[in-house]
């Protein structure tokens, strides 16, 4: 079995055993496994527990790059945002993830979080949960930084009428 298959199993002990047995780790495979551990999409792996950060932490401790952007354009941080994993967002930041680095399409984490939080609340008709945007902002994400479409997270929040985000971002 390769590392991604161990991660797919959802078994942290199996993932640890992989690192105990392998001294030479393929960096691309390691980063791909990290991305898988961030998600939770059943088509990627069936036994995953995306709410459990144990495997993610093992991968980061063994050299997975928190800012690695794969050919599929998604960084681990954006995956954690997309699949609403606030604890994994915090974990990635604690391992040095850059909260202002865009993906291959120019999407910035803070603007991505603003859109995700707003869309989720709108679709589910629930109050907006601003967990991830707040985590990113408090970790230094710049609400005035423009993305590939020449729009900042603050401008996007204004466009959406996302008042809580606007108030927070104007504190910077």
Which residues on adjacent β-strands are paired with residue 152? 146
Please say whether the beta carbons of 166 and 130 come within 8 A: no
* Segment 41-99, tens digit of pLDDT: 433 434 445 556 788 888 888 877 777 766 666 778 888 888 888 988 999 999 899 99
Distance, CA of 126 to chain centre: 23
Cα separation, 110 vs 137, in Å, equals: 7
Distance, CA of 33 to chain centre: 13
Cα separation, 3 vs 151, in Å, equals: 38
User: Fold match between 1-93 and 99-172?
Assistant: yes
Alpha helices (runs of H) in the chain, residue ranges in sequence order: 3-9, 12-21, 27-38, 54-61, 76-82, 86-94, 109-124, 131-138, 153-160, 163-169
* Segment 87-130, tens digit of pLDDT: 889 999 998 999 999 888 888 999 999 999 998 888 889 988 89
CATH superfamily of 1-93: Ankyrin repeat-containing domain (1.25.40.20)
CA atoms within 13 A on the CB side of 5: 3
The pair of structure tokens assigned to 150 is 């020449």
CATH assignment of 99-172, among 1.20.120.530, 3.60.70.12, 1.10.287.110, 1.25.40.20: 1.25.40.20
Cα separation, 46 vs 49, in Å, equals: 9
The pair of structure tokens assigned to 68 is 């690695």
Burial class (CB in 10 A: 0-12, 13-18, 19+), 106: middle
Q: How many CB atoms lie within 10 A of CB 167?
A: 10
Q: Does residue 137 carry a pLDDT above 80?
A: yes
Residue ranges covered by each domain of the chain: 1-93, 99-172
């Amino acid at each position: 079995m390769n590392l991604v298959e161990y991660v797919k199993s959802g078994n942290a002990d199996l993932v640890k055993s992989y690192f105990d047995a392998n001294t030479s780790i393929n960096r691309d495979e390691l980063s791909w496994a990290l991305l898988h551990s961030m998600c939770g999409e059943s088509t990627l792996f069936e036994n995953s527990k995306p709410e459990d950060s144990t495997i993610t932490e093992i991968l980061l401790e063994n050299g997975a790059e928190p800012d690695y952007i794969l050919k599929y354009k998604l960084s681990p941080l954006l995956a954690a945002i997309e699949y609403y994993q606030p604890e994994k967002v915090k974990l990635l930041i604690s391992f040095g993830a850059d909260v202002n680095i865009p993906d291959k399409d120019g999407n910035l984490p803070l603007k991505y979080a603003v859109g995700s939080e707003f869309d989720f609340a709108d679709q589910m008709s629930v109050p907006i949960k601003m967990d991830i945007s707040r985590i990113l902002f408090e970790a230094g994400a710049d609400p005035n930084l423009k993305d590939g479409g020449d729009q900042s997270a603050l401008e996007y929040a204004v466009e959406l009428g996302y008042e809580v985000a606007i108030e927070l971002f104007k504190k910077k």
